[in-house]
Amino acid sequence: MSKLKKGFTALAISAVALSLFGCSNNKSIESSNKTTKTEKKATKKPAAKPKKKQKAFQLKDSQKSMTSELPNTPVVKDYVLKIKYHGDGDVDISVNNSFNSLFEDEKDTVAEKVNTFVISYSEDLEAEADPYCFLTFTHNGSLVGHSKQFSHNEYKWQ
């Protein structure tokens, strides 16, 4: 029996040693995983700032392109005085007196041309994902019309 006790004791000691070795090994793996997660969090924040700067640059570049090309665009140049692009497909359009005298279907045509114009010169990706922008038309600061909230290719005129 003493041989059996010695064998059992040796087996118990090796099982305890193995479990302790296994636990300490898992702890080091967990601590290295925590370090990796912390490193990932630290690298995500600086990457967000260049995206914001890039988007702001794209917005300014889009606005410059629209302003310079507006006088060369048929139909749009006859009724639109200024286009202010806010990004992400949000656009304010200042129109002249001639626009107010158009019928609704003619205003819709001008709005479609403006939308195509804006999409072609916008550089931010969100506007390219949706083929229609939210357009707001004003004349001397007064609302003339706008895109419908859930259907940007349809318009409501005052």
Grade residue 6 by pLDDT with cuts at 50, 70 and 90.
low
The answer to whether 157 touches 147, Cβ cutoff 8 Å, is no
Tell me, what's the pLDDT at 127? 46
What gap in Å lies between CA 61 and CA 143, rounded to an integer?
27
| C-alpha atoms less than 13 angstroms from C-alpha of 5 in its C-beta half-sphere | 2
Tell me, what's the pLDDT at 25? 47
Query: Across-strand partners of 147?
Result: 155
Give the residue extent of every domain in the chain. Answer: 59-157
Contacts 24+ apart (CB under 8 A), 116-121: 117/66, 117/69, 117/70, 117/73, 117/76, 117/83, 118/66, 118/83, 118/85, 118/89, 118/91, 121/62, 121/65, 121/66, 121/69, 121/85
What gap in Å lies between CA 158 and CA 153, rounded to an integer?
17
| Least confident among 56-65, 80-89, 136-145 | 56-65
| Least confident among 65-69, 96-100, 145-149 | 65-69
Q: pLDDT tens digit string along 26-39?
A: 444 444 455 555 55
Tell me, what's the pLDDT at 22? 59
H helix count then E strand count, the chain:
5, 5
Q: pLDDT tens digit string along 105-136?
A: 999 999 999 888 888 877 654 545 667 888 99
